[in-house]
């Protein structure tokens, strides 16, 4: 199935293959492994901090460490995206990788709450964010027809990281203690950062442009970009509600396939179409399997299938941004979209806690709210998809009329 040709598409820069493109994709896999893969594993520290290092602090205070780290990894892109557009990925990868490793090394010697917060939630998060935005922007410059497939392959690294890091931490902590566990994680991330820095390149030129506040509002007036931000924010909220209480390892393992297979199918049948289908399936699973389910079998079934379909949300999001963005603003607009997503991510855990508490410890309200929120996101994606198709057909009709009049 052919995709509608958008005005923003530039046929001059993506080459859709070759060793340089695949090498950048390989580096992107490692970048996603050390950034999103690590961020997806932060829940493993909650119980350790509560029982050991930060036992004098409440669970909610400790939860802010992981929440802020995850939120900042997304939201810092509102500035870092423009850095990519102006200067390319090189310095983002170098400085970002260094900051992430430095932050975790400082966490390994931290003994106070503020030290853990500054090193883990702030320093390492900003570093991970820089690596992520340098990677996501670069990958778009190498691929067009197989763009969603490339993103799916690269972002599957975050799923693998989300499986490996929790197991690694749980195995090392009793044997070598917190300090050396964090150092081992930092050294692992250092290896990934070096590989990413050595292999990721951009396939277009970059030149600094003046910083304008107005540039953050202009895209939000576009009928192709603003609904995308709204839909992705709603989906992020719904999914973060579910991830706040479910087995991260199982979901990450299932999402490995959910990030690669839908990406390949999206290049064949349409990226907006696949996002709409996967988000709808995630909502249906929530309302039809998770909501009434009471047995362990139902929980495992939900974890596996939800992990698969929700993986599409992560892998296709940057591909959708490229669909509705000019090449010179890919980093900037990706950062804007993820900033919106960070609102849903940050709000997820507090809303989940409030819904469970309001229902006397039962998860029914949470399940309903999460399912309906994701269903709304799917409908917005569907409406945006039809609007894009309508606009493309209208542009073609105008072009045809112009050619006829000239004749």
pLDDT, tens digit (0-9, with 9 covering 90-100), for 56-74: 888 778 878 888 888 899 8
Helix (H, G, I), strand (E, B) or coil at 22: helix
> Rounded to whole angstroms, how far apart are CA atoms 331 and 215?
13
Residue 155: closest CA among 165, 166, 147 = 147
In sequence order, the 6+-apart residues with CB closer than 8 A to the CB of 54 are 61, 62, 113, 116
Rg (CA), the chain: 21
* Distance between first and last Cα of the chain: 31
What is the chain's mean pLDDT, rounded? 83
> Rounded to whole angstroms, how far apart are CA atoms 200 and 23?
7
Q: Are 377 and 234 in contact (CB under 8 A)?
A: yes
Whether 189 shows a pLDDT value over 90: the answer reads: yes
Whether 159 shows a pLDDT value over 90: the answer reads: no
Helix (H, G, I), strand (E, B) or coil at 269: helix
Confidence bin at 403 (pLDDT 50/70/90): very low
Domain ranges of the chain: 19-406
Whether 176 shows a pLDDT value over 70: the answer reads: yes
pLDDT, mean of residues 114-120 = 94
Residue 330: closest CA among 131, 127, 182, 135 = 135
With a pLDDT cut of 90, the percent of the chain lying above it is 30
Sign of the Cα pseudo-torsion (125, 129, 130, 131, in order):
positive
> Rounded to whole angstroms, how far apart are CA atoms 113 and 121?
11
If one counts every other C-beta atom within 10 angstroms of the C-beta of residue 169, the result is 19
Question: What pLDDT shows up at residue 7?
Answer: 43
Question: What pLDDT shows up at residue 227?
Answer: 67
HSE, side-chain direction, 13 A CA sphere, residue 135 = 38
pLDDT, mean of residues 375-393 = 84
Q: Are 73 and 39 in contact (CB under 8 A)?
A: yes
- Catalogue the E-assigned strands of 226-357: none
> Minimum mean pLDDT among 100-104, 177-181, 248-252, 323-327: which range?
248-252
> What is the token pair recorded at 372?
């309906």
> Minimum mean pLDDT among 60-64, 178-182, 184-188, 376-380: which range?
60-64
Residue pLDDT, tens place only, 260-309: 898 899 999 888 899 999 989 989 988 998 888 777 777 778 888 888 88
Confidence bin at 222 (pLDDT 50/70/90): low
Confidence bin at 399 (pLDDT 50/70/90): very low
Whether 1 shows a pLDDT value over 50: the answer reads: no
Q: Are 233 and 133 in contact (CB under 8 A)?
A: no
Question: How does DSSP assign 215-255, residue by residue?
Answer: GGTTGGGSTTTHHHHHHHHHHHHHHHHHHTTS-HHHHHHHH
Whether 245 shows a pLDDT value over 60: the answer reads: no
Place of tokens 């749980």: 170
> What is the token pair recorded at 386?
């039809």
Whether 2 shows a pLDDT value over 50: the answer reads: no
Give the CATH architecture of domain 19-406: Up-down Bundle (1.20)
pLDDT, mean of residues 367-373 = 87
Burial of 1 (0-12, 13-18, 19+ CB in 10 A): exposed
Whether 334 shows a pLDDT value over 80: the answer reads: yes
**pTM of the predicted structure, to 2 decimals:** 0.83
Question: What pLDDT shows up at residue 172?
Answer: 93
DSSP class of 219: G
Question: What pLDDT shows up at residue 249?
Answer: 66
In sequence order, the 6+-apart residues with CB closer than 8 A to the CB of 311 are 159, 254, 255, 256, 257, 258, 259, 262
Q: Are 386 and 378 in contact (CB under 8 A)?
A: no
């Amino acid at each position: 199935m052919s995709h509608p040709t958008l005005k923003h598409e530039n046929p001059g820069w993506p080459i859709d293959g070759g060793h340089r493109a695949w090498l950048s994709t390989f580096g992107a896999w490692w970048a996603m492994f050390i950034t999103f893969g690590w961020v997806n594993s932060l829940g493993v520290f909650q119980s350790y901090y509560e029982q050991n290092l930060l036992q004098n602090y409440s669970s909610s205070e400790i939860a802010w460490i992981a929440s802020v780290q995850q939120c900042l990894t997304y939201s810092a892109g509102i500035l870092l995206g423009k850095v990519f557009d102006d200067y390319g990925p090189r310095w983002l990868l170098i400085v970002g990788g260094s900051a992430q490793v430095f932050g975790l090394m400082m966490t390994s010697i931290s003994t106070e709450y503020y030290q853990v917060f500054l090193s883990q939630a702030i320093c390492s998060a900003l570093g991970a964010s820089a690596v992520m935005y340098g990677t996501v922007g670069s990958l778009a410059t190498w691929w067009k027809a197989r763009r969603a497939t490339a993103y799916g392959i690269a972002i599957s690294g975050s799923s693998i990281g989300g499986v490996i890091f929790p197991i690694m931490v749980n195995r090392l902590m009793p044997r070598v203690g917190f300090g050396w566990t964090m150092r081992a994680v930092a050294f692992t991330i250092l290896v990934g950062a070096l590989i990413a820095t050595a292999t990721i390149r951009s396939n277009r030129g970059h030149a600094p442009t003046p910083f304008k506040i107005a540039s953050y509002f202009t895209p939000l007036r576009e009928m192709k970009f603003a609904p995308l931000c709204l839909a992705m924010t709603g989906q992020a909220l719904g999914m973060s509600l579910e991830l706040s209480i479910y087995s991260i390892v199982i979901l990450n393992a299932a999402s490995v396939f959910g990030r690669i297979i839908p990406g390949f199918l999206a290049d064949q049948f349409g990226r907006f179409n696949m996002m709409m289908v996967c988000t709808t399936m995630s909502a249906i699973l929530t309302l039809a399997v998770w909501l009434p389910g009471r047995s362990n079998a139902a929980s495992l079934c939900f974890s596996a299938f939800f992990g698969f379909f929700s993986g599409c949300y992560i892998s296709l999001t940057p591909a959708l941004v490229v669909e509705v963005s000019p090449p010179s603003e890919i980093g900037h607009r990706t950062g804007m979209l993820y900033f919106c997503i960070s609102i849903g991510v940050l709000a997820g855990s507090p809303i989940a806690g409030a819904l469970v508490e309001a229902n006397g410890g039962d998860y029914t309200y949470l399940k309903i709210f999460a399912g309906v929120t994701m269903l709304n996101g799917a409908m917005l994606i569907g409406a945006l998809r039809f609007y894009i198709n309508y606009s493309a057909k209208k542009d073609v009709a105008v072009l045809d009329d112009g050619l006829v009049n000239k004749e």
